[in-house]
Amino acid sequence: MSLTLLNVIFAVVVAIAFAALNAAYLVWAERRGAGRIQRRPGPNINGPFGLFQPPLDGLKLMAKQLTIPGGADKILFVAAPVLSMFPAIMSFVTIPFSEMIVAHNMNVGLLMIFAFASSGSMALLFAGWSSRNKYAMMSAVRSVSQAVAYEIPMLITAITIVLMTGTMDLMEIVRQQGPSILHWNIFPLLTNSHNLLMPFSFLIFFTCTLAETNRAPFDLGEAESELVAGFHIEYGSMGFGLFFMAEYANIVIGSCLTTILFLGGWHPPLPFLGFIPGVVWFLLKIYILIATFIWIRWTFPRTTIYGLLNLSWKILIPISLFNLLLTAGLLKVF
Amino acid sequence: MSAELVLSSVIFFGLAVIIPVIMLLTAVFGPRSGGVAKNDAYESGIKHVVGMADQKFSVKFYLLAILFLIFDIEAVFMYPWAVSLRELGMFGFLEMVVFILLLLTGLIYILKKGVLNWR
């Protein structure tokens, strides 16, 4: 018992460290990537390639005052950043990085991650409402309506995977996608459902991940040109730091989930490449997805809030419902 | 109490302690100062705040929230069905087809009613 307890504490520490390290260095990667795309250097002063920038930024944030505006609801104001970080780290606990590396596998892992992901929008609402700031309030309403709109196609698309694999256990979902690239859920030929729409499923899921994590072109919640900074406008210091870390941790979770559900998790693309450990393949896949996230952010213009909500309710939800029916029907026929 | 429950609560409370501690570090390291202007809400640099934060919003946002409740509960309801589709047979499949078609009809009705017409 005490040994498993130690294991769990170790796993929590590793999960927090992984989330924090990723958040810090994704900021660096994002700024460097933005620099490359916009033909400017990006952060390059502190350390080689500017690699010391994120820890220095973190220290700077920690040395600042957490200002609580006069009209704010103090308890909610302080609770909101903690609430946004909490589900982001909790989701790491159940993600399998390889056959061996998983903090705590559950048979309802998929559902647990979705439950935590949707509780993240509570933090946005708390932050926006408790700040007593017009921009924050508008941004909170926008962000929450966006988060809830894109959660539905995301959930429904994930159901097609549950249909094909017959389980919500993330490790079991990955195990069924071995051993080669043709068995991954994104390619419908060798999986047990011959649904040719699976690549579209992947695209819907990826789009929803972009929207759920408030990333451009769907970052209406923090549209700088209209709302200054969004729901975290009144936050400075580590309150802002936690929101920022949570955002990047959510991006990592989104890519992990996309990799697990569609891209074969820790499986190598070809069976003879199996001598390279699974965790390498898993990390390679999630970082390719994250690079795509950054690439999309700096190359696409922002949509409007109307276009954003219309895309989800008028296009993605009907398509994903149709796709669900098709997958279930094909499973029954074959 | 089962071991699973103990483990889950340890993870949960461990995080519930660590994250606020990260945030409270700023209270230790950071400066403490105040003032009338500093405690005002931010408003693009003008001196006094204009109006209140609790202003009117388009009622469509509330409609969307209610719609979300319906569709979200329906989606979560489909998960147990998806896990056990193989055992349910043809009847279970057809029942869900009827359910999803009803839902799609509802969605089309809502869209035709103009919930998403913004102007």
Range of the domain at B60: 3-113
pLDDT (0 to 100) of residue A3: 55
Residues of chain A positioned with their CB less than 8 A from the CB of B95: none
**CB burial class (10 A; 0-12, 13-18, 19+) of residue A242?**
buried
CB of B59 within 8 Å of any CB in chain A? Answer: no
The answer to the question of residue B118 being in a domain is no
pLDDT (0 to 100) of residue A190: 63
Among B18, B32, B55, the residue with its CB nearest the CB of A16 is B18
Q: Both tokens of residue A59?
A: 């220290």
Among B12, B19, B27, the residue with its CB nearest the CB of A82 is B19
Q: Both tokens of residue B44?
A: 């693009």
Residues of chain A positioned with their CB less than 8 A from the CB of B79: 111, 159, 162, 168
Please report which confidence band the pLDDT of residue A1 belongs to, taking 50, 70 and 90 as the band edges: very low
pLDDT (0 to 100) of residue B119: 66
First-to-last alpha carbon distance for chain A, in angstroms, is 46
User: Collapsing DSSP states into helix, strand and coil, what is residue A84?
Assistant: helix
Q: What is the mean pLDDT of residues A297-309?
A: 84
Q: pLDDT by residue (tens digit) across A50-85?
A: 888 888 888 888 888 888 887 778 888 888 888 888
Whole-number average pLDDT of chain A: 83
HSE-up of residue A125 (Cα within 13 Å, Cβ side): 12
**CB burial class (10 A; 0-12, 13-18, 19+) of residue A105?**
middle
CB contact under 8 A, B26 and A61: yes
CB contact under 8 A, A5 and B83: no
Question: How far apart (Å, rounded) are the C-alpha atoms in residues B54 and B43?
Answer: 15
Question: How far apart (Å, rounded) are the C-alpha atoms in residues A42 and A36?
Answer: 7
| Amino acid present at A193 | S
The answer to the question of residue B119 being in a domain is no
Among B19, B41, B51, the residue with its CB nearest the CB of A86 is B19
pLDDT > 50? residue A312 = yes
CA distance B93 to chain A (A): 7
- For the question of an ipTM over 0.90, the answer is no
Residue of B nearest to A11 (CA): B11
pLDDT (0 to 100) of residue A288: 92
The answer to the question of residue A72 being in a domain is yes
CA distance A281 to chain B (A): 27
CB contact under 8 A, A70 and B39: yes
HEC sequence for chain B: CCHHHHHHHHHHHHHHHHHHHHHHHHHHHCCCCCCCCCCCCCCCCCCCCCCCCCCCCCCHHHHHHHHHHHHHHHHHHHHHHHHCHHHHHHHHHHHHHHHHHHHHHHHHHHHHHCCCCCC
C-beta of residue A213 within 8 angstroms of C-beta of residue A247? yes
Residue of B nearest to A224 (CA): B44
Which residue is associated with the tokens 């998403």?
B116
The answer to the question of residue A32 being in a domain is no
The answer to the question of residue B107 being in a domain is yes
The answer to the question of residue A47 being in a domain is no
Q: pLDDT by residue (tens digit) across A10-35?
A: 777 777 788 778 888 888 888 888 88
* Helix A237-262, helix A53-62: angle, nearest 10: 140
Report the 10 Å Cβ neighbour count for A225: 6
Domains contained in chain A, number: 1
The answer to the question of residue A136 being in a domain is yes
Q: Could you tell me the CATH number of the domain that includes residue B108?
A: 1.20.58
Question: How far apart (Å, rounded) are the C-alpha atoms in residues A51 and A59?
Answer: 14
pTM of this structure: 0.87
The answer to the question of residue A140 being in a domain is yes
Residues of chain A positioned with their CB less than 8 A from the CB of B13: none
- What's the full length of chain B, in residues? 119
Among B23, B31, B75, the residue with its CB nearest the CB of A81 is B23
pLDDT (0 to 100) of residue A189: 67
Q: Both tokens of residue A167?
A: 């389980």
The answer to the question of residue A14 being in a domain is no
Among B30, B65, B85, the residue with its CB nearest the CB of A328 is B85
Domains contained in chain B, number: 1
Alpha-carbon Rg for chain A in angstroms: 20
Q: What is the mean pLDDT of residues A240-263?
A: 88
**CB burial class (10 A; 0-12, 13-18, 19+) of residue A60?**
exposed
CB contact under 8 A, B19 and A135: no
Residue of A nearest to B79 (CA): A159
C-beta of residue A167 within 8 angstroms of C-beta of residue B88? no
The answer to the question of residue B32 being in a domain is yes
Task: Walk along chain B (119 residues) and give the pLDDT tens digit of each residue.
Answer: 466 667 667 777 777 777 788 777 777 777 777 777 777 777 766 666 666 667 777 788 888 888 888 888 888 888 888 888 888 888 888 888 898 899 889 888 988 888 877 76
CB of B8 within 8 Å of any CB in chain A? Answer: yes
Least confident of A94-108, A135-149, A165-179, A300-314: A94-108
Residues of chain A positioned with their CB less than 8 A from the CB of B38: 67
Residues of chain B positioned with their CB less than 8 A from the CB of A159: 75, 78-79, 82
Distance of CA A31 to the CA centre of its chain: 18
Range of the domain at A146: 66-333
CB of B116 within 8 Å of any CB in chain A? Answer: yes
Q: Say if residue A217 is preceded by a cis peptide, omega within 30 of 0.
A: yes
Q: What is the mean pLDDT of residues A212-225?
A: 76
The answer to the question of residue A292 being in a domain is yes
